[in-house]
Each structure stands twice: as structure tokens, then as C-alpha cells.
């Protein structure tokens, strides 16, 4: 889904009463309400920002081998509005999450049209991380 489609859906969703039932009622609600992710964001608030350093992004952690895989997320980037972490339960070889540092944004339902600049910022940070990863992957293949 593109950012424009997301913004259109958000603008159309305002003023509607919350729906009862559905995925959230069945336990399939937004994953950002998981205590693990909230704790991850709370812990990240205490670490320094990386966006102004000479190396703002950290490389994606290599996959663990063997049965002793340790589940956990590492902060790969942090600025004043968001963090990027590797997913503790990745669905692909490279699976990251961009999470807001604003703990009041506990689910997609908490978003309002005034959060559009924040969503654009998420997209920009995610795009820059993809470019960083592509460049670092090319560098590894050349050596």
C-alpha cells in the first residue's frame, strides 16, 4: 500500500465510530500493542540518537545458525521521531520495523491526518535504510 493510499484511508476513517468485533476483537489487533514492542520503544528512548552520527544505520544482524536462535530486536537506527529495529520473528531474510517513539501511537487506529508528516518521515527513513543496506551488500560482494 502506498503512502497516498494510507493517507486517503486515514482521512476517510476520521469521524467514524470504532467498529466492534473484527480482527482486533479476535486477538489479531495491531502488533504495536504487544508489550515487547512497547518496552523496546521505551528502552530506545534512553539511548542516543544515531541519525546525526557518521554511521546513522547499523547493519542488519546476520541470521543465527542452529537451534539456539535467540529472539530479540536490535535498534538499527534512531532519530527524534522513530526507530528501526530488526523483527524478532522475521518473515523474510531482511525484515525491519519502523516504530514511532511517541508511545501514544499504540496502534494504527490512533493515527490522525495530522500524523501524515510523521508517516512520510517513516517512509523516508525506511527508504534510506534500504539504500544503506543495498550499498553495504554490494560492498560485501565486491570484496
pLDDT in tens, 36-55: 788 889 999 999 999 888 88
Specify the pLDDT at position 68.
44
Specify the pLDDT at position 59.
80
pLDDT-based confidence at residue 124 (cuts at 50, 70, 90)? very high
Note whether 87 and 96 are within 8 A (CB).
yes
Question: Of 7-11, 12-16, 128-132, which range is least confident?
Answer: 12-16
Note whether 90 and 74 are within 8 A (CB).
no
pLDDT higher than 90, residue 25: no
Helices vs strands, H then E, count in the chain: 4, 3
Specify the pLDDT at position 67.
41
Instruction: Tell me the domain boundaries of the chain.
Output: 30-58+72-142
pLDDT higher than 50, residue 9: yes
- As a whole number, the mean pLDDT across the chain is 76
CATH superfamily of 30-58+72-142: HIT-like (3.30.428.10)
pLDDT in tens, 85-118: 988 888 888 889 999 999 888 888 889 999 999 9
How distant, in Å, are the alpha carbons of 30, 50, 51, 62, 101 from that of 54?
Answer: 34, 8, 8, 22, 22
The rounded distance, in Å, linking the Cα atoms of 136 and 79 is: 21
pTM over 0.95: no
Amino acid at each position: 500500500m502506498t503512502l497516498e493510499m494510507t493517507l486517503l484511508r486515514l482521512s476517510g476513517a476520521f469521524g467514524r465510530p470504532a467498529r466492534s468485533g473484527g480482527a482486533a476483537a479476535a486477538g489479531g489487533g495491531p502488533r504495536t500493542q504487544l508489550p515487547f514492542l512497547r518496552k523496546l520503544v521505551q528502552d530506545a528512548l534512553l539511548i542516543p540518537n544515531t541519525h546525526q552520527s557518521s554511521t546513522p544505520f547499523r547493519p542488519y544482524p546476520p541470521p543465527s545458525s542452529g537451534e539456539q536462535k535467540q529472539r530479540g530486536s536490535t535498534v538499527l537506527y534512531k532519530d527524534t521521531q522513530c526507530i528501526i529495529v530488526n523483527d524478532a520473528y522475521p518473515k523474510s531474510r531482511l525484515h525491519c520495523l519502523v516504530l514511532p517513539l511517541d508511545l501514544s501511537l499504540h496502534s494504527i487506529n490512533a493515527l490522525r491526518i495530522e500524523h501524515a508528516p510523521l508517516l512520510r518521515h517513516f517512509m523516508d527513513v525506511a527508504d534510506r535504510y534500504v539504500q544503506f543496506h543495498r550499498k553495504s551488500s554490494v560492498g560485501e560482494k565486491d570484496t
